[in-house]
Amino acid sequence: MQTQEQKELVENAIELAQLHGILKYLPDGQLTHAPFSLSPYCITKSDLAEMTELTAAFSELMISVSQNWDFLEHHLGPISANDPFLQMLLNCRTSEIMQSRQLLVQRNDFFITNDEQSPDKQNCSPEYETNAASLLRQVELNTVSVSFPFLATKLTQLHHYLYEQNCLKQVIQNNPLDAVVDAFAKAVRDYDIADSVMLIVIQPKEKNIFDQLGLEQLMWEKHKISTIRKILSEIYRDGKLREGHLVVDSKTVAVTYFRAGYTPDDFSTKDAVKGRQLIEASSSIQVPDLAMHLSGMKKIQQVLTKQEVLSDFVSPDLSGRFSKTFAKMHTLDEIIDTPEGEVSAAEWVSKHPEDYVLKPQREGGGNNYFGSDILNLLPTIRKEEQKAYILMVKIKPQIHSAILVVNGQAETLNCVSEIGRFGICFAENGVVKNNRDVGYLVRTKAENVNEGGVCAGFACLNTIADIDDQQESGN
Ligand code: ADP
Ligand code: MG
């Protein structure tokens, strides 16, 4: 039961969320506030620092991986034989590199776990096993359609407004929006064609439109750069190549920003595929380019958890720091070492489905299998399809209490929080020019919910408040 005072506080917060543009559409078309938390997630300064420091290093890793097409093809090619969507993406590659400039806008998602005994702990390289200070676990690194720079920035403003006046929590400053917009503006200027624009590739029924509109508005306000929003088939209909430039509605496109194109649903027509190919054949700076997009695939994440693979791309020191954050990942046909001896990962997970997440090569939420759904799926996967799935140890994040506000209703629940660090990296022919961490996203959800999407209704936007490391250990 809420007191009158709590009820008013929640109502006030909802009005403020709407004022800030923290909005979304419900499936029936009604406008409501995006789900948000009223309880900033408290983490230690050292976890925050470690996560922030890792951003640029992970961006550099993604740039290096993206430069190695043979590596990408070696790991993704065999999967694509049974995955027409992946095959189509791989086939988009043109023989000639049309643009040597790269802009990566990535978000590296983590949970923080207290569970030192979790099976994923086995993955630590020996030199780090004694250093148990950090228990960060990477969920995934997103290289395509990195969402929420606008909404995360606005929620931070809202939390500051609510808490600072009452000297409550120290919400950590956060403005990924300005940094992302400035990066796009720099890329447009680098393209160096007068009055060129940024093309935003959107989904047919875009759910997260306010996050995009807020970004577009700031592009104009701050940099006087126009944006064009279109789905892939419209890009094919309205676009053409002129001397290598992509021209859409008579405007030269300097930057193509993908907020779509990562799921088969975005390619339901032949014209959509042609739209994707048209972009690829042009010299516009693609965020991300095809190789960066593929570098963020779950199969690539899984192979990079192997020391011998990772060490081809990064120094031993970085390899150790990265590995410390990796949860153990397998292919289904892999033979793994278990307390019951060596067995295939598929056999092991069929006995321990609650300890794993089974992931197909898909992005965008709602595609993963948990618990009994894994058991239902396993017998339907043909031998040749096994490669298309990644088995990941289920991370057990620390649990905290939070007030979640969803569609006008507030509820206090035991929750877990996933923190994403935004990274921006400019490179040219794989040589990094400018690379930094630019802020965070927190998504908080009830502890018993598996998936994590905000627009899909699983999770709530949140902020970080930091606490002293001593405070956490009870000193
Ligand atoms: P997507 O590309 O769909 O975002 P993710 O790998 O991020 O795929 O998984 C979606 C959600 O599932 C995450 O936001 C997280 O809440 C949950 N999840 C994914 N992997 C794990 C894991 N290893 N342990 C616990 N939860 C996970
Ligand atoms: Mg994700």
Q: Which atom of ligand 1 is least distant from the CA of 416?
A: 16
What confidence tens digit (pLDDT) does each residue in 154-165 have? 999 999 999 887
Q: Is the CB of 140 under 6 A from ligand 1?
A: yes
| CB-neighbour burial class of residue 132 (10 A; exposed 0-12, middle 13-18, buried 19+) | exposed
- Statement: residue 119 has pLDDT above 80: no
Q: What is the pLDDT of residues 225-256, one digit of tens each?
A: 999 999 999 999 999 999 999 999 999 999 99
Nearest ligand to residue 367 Cα: 1
Picking from 311, 387, 393, 304, the residue whose alpha carbon sits closest to that of residue 348 is 393
| CA 256 – ligand 1 centroid, Å | 27
Q: Which residues contact 373 (CB under 8 A, 6 or more apart)?
A: 358
Which two tokens mark 113?
């776990």
pLDDT at 95: 82
Residue 249 CA to ligand 2 centre (angstroms): 33
Cut 0.85: pTM above it:
yes
Q: Where are the domains of the chain?
A: 4-174+288-467
Tell the residue nearest (CA) to atom 14 of ligand 1: 452
pLDDT digits (tens, 9 = 90+) for 180-217: 999 999 999 999 999 999 999 999 988 899 999 999 99
Quote the mean pLDDT of the chain. Answer: 92
Q: Cα(60)–Cα(324) distance, rounded to whole angstroms? A: 18
At residue 127, the pLDDT reads: 29
CB 115 near ligand 1, within 6 Å:
no
> In the prediction, which pLDDT does 97 show?
85
pLDDT score at 269: 97
User: Tokens 């086939």, residue?
Assistant: 91
For residue range 328-341, list pLDDT tens digits in order. Answer: 999 999 999 999 99
Q: Is residue 446 predicted with pLDDT exceeding 70?
A: yes
pLDDT for the residue numbered 367: 93
Q: Which residue puts its alpha carbon closest to atom 12 of ligand 1?
A: 451
| Predicted local confidence at residue 472, as pLDDT | 57
Q: Is 394 in the pocket of ligand 1 (CB under 6 A)?
A: yes
Q: Contact 63/444 with Cβ under 8 angstroms?
A: no
Q: Is 357 in the pocket of ligand 1 (CB under 6 A)?
A: yes
Q: What is the pLDDT of residue 470?
A: 61
Atom of ligand 1 nearest to the CA of 443: 14
Give pLDDT tens digits for 310-359.
999 999 999 999 999 999 999 999 999 999 999 999 999 999 999 999 99
How many Cβ atoms sit within 10 Å of the Cβ of residue 231?
Answer: 22
Please tell me if the CB atom of residue 472 comes closer than 6 angstroms to any atom of ligand 1: no
**Closest atom of ligand 1 to CA, residue 364:** 3
Which ligand lies nearest to the CA atom of residue 138 in the structure? 1
Q: Is the CB of 364 under 6 A from ligand 1?
A: yes
User: Ligand 1 within 6 A of 390 CB?
Assistant: no
